[in-house]
Chain A
Amino acid sequence: MAGPINWFSQIVSITKFGLLSIPQRRGAVVATVIGIAGVVTVLVGVLSIAAGFRQAMTVSGSPDGAIVLRSGADSEMVSGFGRDETRVIADAPGVARTAQGPLASAELFVIINLPKRSTGTDANVPLRGVEPAALLVRDNLKIIQGRMFDWGKDEVIVGRGAAREFAGLEVGSKIKVGRYEWPVAGIFSAGGGVAESEIWTDAKVLQDAYNRGDSFQSVSVRLNSPGAFQQFKDSLTSNPQLNVKVVRQSEYYIEQSETITRLITTLGFLIAFLMAIGAVFGALNTMYSAVAARTREIATLRALGFGSSAVVVSLMLESLLLALVGGVIGGGQAYFAFNNFHTSTMNWQSFSQIAFAFKVTPELLVRGIVWSALIGLIGGLFPAIRAARLPIAAALREL
């Protein structure tokens, strides 16, 4: 009599009665749904910061790009090369070439202070000195406003992320670099990558302004193909003239984003976990009150022959459904409130600001929904067990 089909239809029936009775207890139900939506909004919102940051860093690296630093350096800040070394690197096997020479840009990296538009306070902004090949070494680099700076002139171009986040970076305005004031010749985009947070100028001009002689901090190269990396790396690391570290661009930027991504992710999970505990209690309260309000109804169904396991599953299903509604609302809120929200933050590896946009990815939305489902299941479990254990005879007479 009570086969699996029958059991399934019992669950459907009891769940339906529960859902139909929601209008009678809508206050508690709405509070629970809002609570769970809040958890999911915060979780997805905070994690979208990490996702956006990571995305900004990872799109920066092309698969056939490599960056060379001094051995032991974690970032360009603590790296350094002389002109001769950069030439050896540029001429290494595996580096792509054009008629103008190898696609290698020896670069200089300094930090200047500029006021943030949002707060007016000074923040560290990276100023990169590049060589002509820099535009070809990186993917998707485009001047979107104004023009390229003239080589050998005191001019800069500004990444569009930096232009958005910091004041005084419009085309035609001047920025203060050491003792000098340099005009902004143009604004460039870099496919949303980390270069968009930077200001670029001619490496030679920057060397002079900062009295760096003929030294650089890194060399970025474009290889013949992604597969040429190993050959390139081996030739440099085995060269006794050099003491270098060779990494793929993509790996370098992922490494650069690790500290901040981990910090934001940990913080996001911590906040969401604490909120989730609150939401579980909300769900527990709702489902306990649902069981209390329906004690006689549940006892009647059980007297008629509905099984206790069907009661447990139905109540958990009801809790799960309410939680999923909260999850979907929370995910939607996070998406509309945070997706592509532009901001900037400190990249602790380079001690400079990175402009990026929050990214509410499908994976984060799924994660939010999974969290809401867990909250619903935990919140529904104990009230469901209580309902199944109700002594039928006594519960039938409850008012």
Chain B
Amino acid sequence: MNENQSNNGALVRVENVEKIFHRGSEDIHVLADLHLQVPAGEFLALMGPSGSGKSTLLNLIGGLDRPTRGLVTVAGERLDQLSDHRLAAWRARHVGFVFQLYNLMPVLTAERNVELPLLLTHLSKAERMKHVDAALAVVGLSHRAKHYPRTLSGGEQQRVGIARGIVTDPTLLLCDEPTGDLDRKAGNEILDLLQALNREHGKTIIMVTHDPHASARATRTVYLDKGQLSNEPVK
């Protein structure tokens, strides 16, 4: 919790957040009184053992879940004050997601998958395709635009996933174990890409990982254990 960034400069502010899951009569405390600030332009790695609450924290920041207590503020917007409907619209505008299992639509080509978040905007078809082409070029997959996910390698699928994540030029890119399902070589390519997005395009990225190779690419790493954050790995 040794946050160095001032509250005012942080893009993401997580304050006093507690998250309790209920399983039958049992309460599972996943996050307890957690604080985190992420300044704009940071590439933050979130590490910790399985079940430590990494993905839960990422979901709270991405507006996919709500904290039991505490506040999550992103770019000045308090997520707890948004209805489910407005939260969905907020996600569409501000957050790009990259998933461990890519989560591509199998019935759509690469470019149609990338186009998906743009269907929620008022862009014309031509404008959408311009954005799609640009995003596919950034991830180096322009030549595979018409391919279906099943004909792409894991690394290529993840690149399509990243292109989908950045196509709306979101405020924040949230990656949940983006290399977790890839071999070392493909994983490195993805990490190169994320690093380039952060360095060259100024994207703020929060990446959940349990892989030290991956976290080494981030500008900062925080560790989560038993619902608490620290700047040092848990022994």
A305 contacts the other chain (Cβ, under 8 Å)? yes
A300 contacts the other chain (Cβ, under 8 Å)? yes
Contacts A10-B119, A304-B116, A305-B120 given; does A396 touch B103 at CB 8 Å: yes
Decide if B65 touches A393 in the complex (CB within 8 Å).
yes
Chain A 294-309 residues near chain B, CB threshold 8 A: 296-297, 299-309
Contacts A9-B119, A308-B84 given; does A393 touch B107 at CB 8 Å: no
Contacts A391-B65, A393-B59, A393-B65 given; does A1 touch B93 at CB 8 Å: yes
Q: Which of A297, A301, A305, A308 is in CB contact (< 8 Å) with B93? A: A305
Decide if B105 touches A305 in the complex (CB within 8 Å).
no
A397 contacts the other chain (Cβ, under 8 Å)? yes
Decide if A21 touches B107 in the complex (CB within 8 Å).
yes
In the assembled complex, the Cα of A203 lies from the Cα of B64 at a distance in Å of 88
Write out the residue numbers on chain B whose beta carbons fall within 8 Å of the beta carbon of A75.
none
Write out the residue numbers on chain B whose beta carbons fall within 8 Å of the beta carbon of A306.
88, 120
Decide if A13 touches B107 in the complex (CB within 8 Å).
no
Tell me how far the C-beta of B114 lies from the nearest C-beta in chain A, rounded to whole angstroms. 11
Write out the residue numbers on chain A whose beta carbons fall within 8 Å of the beta carbon of B176.
396
Decide if B62 touches A303 in the complex (CB within 8 Å).
yes
B116 to A, closest residue via Cβ: A304
Q: Which of A296, A297, A308 is in CB contact (< 8 Å) with B88? A: A308
A274 contacts the other chain (Cβ, under 8 Å)? no
Interface size class of A (residues with CB under 8 A): 20 to 34
A281 contacts the other chain (Cβ, under 8 Å)? no
Contacts A2-B88, A391-B65, A392-B65 given; does A301 touch B116 at CB 8 Å: yes
B104 to A, closest residue via Cβ: A300
Write out the residue numbers on chain A whose beta carbons fall within 8 Å of the beta carbon of B121.
1, 6
Write out the residue numbers on chain A whose beta carbons fall within 8 Å of the beta carbon of B120.
1-2, 6, 10, 304-306
Q: What are the interface flags for B66-106 relative to A under an 8 Å C-beta threshold, 1 for contact and 0 otherwise?
A: 00000000000000000011001111110001011101011
Chain A 264-305 residues near chain B, CB threshold 8 A: 296-297, 299-305
Decide if B105 touches A297 in the complex (CB within 8 Å).
yes
Tell me how far the C-beta of B80 lies from the nearest C-beta in chain A, rounded to whole angstroms. 16
Decide if A20 touches B107 in the complex (CB within 8 Å).
yes
Q: What are the interface flags for A1-14 relative to B under an 8 Å C-beta threshold, 1 for contact and 0 otherwise?
A: 11101100110010
B108 contacts the other chain (Cβ, under 8 Å)? yes
In the assembled complex, the Cα of A166 lies from the Cα of B16 at a distance in Å of 90
Decide if A300 touches B103 in the complex (CB within 8 Å).
yes
Contacts A2-B85, A304-B92, A308-B88 given; does A13 touch B119 at CB 8 Å: yes
Write out the residue numbers on chain A whose beta carbons fall within 8 Å of the beta carbon of B103.
296-297, 299-300, 303, 396
Decide if A397 touches B101 in the complex (CB within 8 Å).
yes
Write out the residue numbers on chain B whose beta carbons fall within 8 Å of the beta carbon of A297.
103, 105
Write out the residue numbers on chain A whose beta carbons fall within 8 Å of the beta carbon of B230.
none
Q: What are the interface flags for B166-200 relative to A under an 8 Å C-beta threshold, 1 for contact and 0 otherwise?
A: 00000000001000000000000000000000000
- Number of B interface residues at 8 Å Cβ cutoff, please give it: 31
A302 to B, closest residue via Cβ: B88
A182 contacts the other chain (Cβ, under 8 Å)? no
A351 contacts the other chain (Cβ, under 8 Å)? no
Tell me how far the C-beta of B56 lies from the nearest C-beta in chain A, rounded to whole angstroms. 7
Decide if A303 touches B64 in the complex (CB within 8 Å).
yes
A17 contacts the other chain (Cβ, under 8 Å)? yes
B55 contacts the other chain (Cβ, under 8 Å)? yes
Write out the residue numbers on chain B whose beta carbons fall within 8 Å of the beta carbon of A1.
89, 92-93, 120-121
Q: What are the interface flags for B49-62 relative to A under an 8 Å C-beta threshold, 1 for contact and 0 otherwise?
A: 00000011001001
In the assembled complex, the Cα of A297 lies from the Cα of B64 at a distance in Å of 15
Q: What are the interface flags for B10-25 relative to A under an 8 Å C-beta threshold, 1 for contact and 0 otherwise?
A: 0000000000000000
Tell me how far the C-beta of B28 lies from the nearest C-beta in chain A, rounded to whole angstroms. 13
In the assembled complex, the Cα of A2 lies from the Cα of B122 at a distance in Å of 9
Tell me how far the C-beta of B143 lies from the nearest C-beta in chain A, rounded to whole angstroms. 24
Q: Which of B62, B100, B122 is in CB contact (< 8 Å) with A6? A: B122
Decide if B108 touches A17 in the complex (CB within 8 Å).
yes
Decide if A305 touches B108 in the complex (CB within 8 Å).
no
Tell me how far the C-beta of B61 lies from the nearest C-beta in chain A, rounded to whole angstroms. 12
Which of A2, A3, A296, A308 has its CB near the most chain B CB atoms (within 10 A)? A2
Write out the residue numbers on chain A whose beta carbons fall within 8 Å of the beta carbon of B164.
304
In the assembled complex, the Cα of A114 lies from the Cα of B23 at a distance in Å of 76
Q: What are the interface flags for A58-93 relative to B under an 8 Å C-beta threshold, 1 for contact and 0 otherwise?
A: 000000000000000000000000000000000000
Please name 12 pairs of A and B residues whose Cβ atoms are closer than 8 Å in the assembled complex, sorted by A: A1-B89, A2-B92, A20-B107, A21-B106, A303-B62, A303-B91, A304-B92, A304-B117, A304-B164, A305-B93, A396-B64, A397-B100
Interface residues of A (CB under 8 A from B): 1-3, 5-6, 9-10, 13, 17, 20-21, 296-297, 299-309, 391-393, 396-397, 399
Kindly list 9 other residue pairs between chains A and B, CB separation below 8 angstroms, not including A1-B121, A397-B101: A13-B119, A302-B88, A303-B64, A304-B97, A304-B117, A307-B89, A308-B88, A392-B59, A392-B64
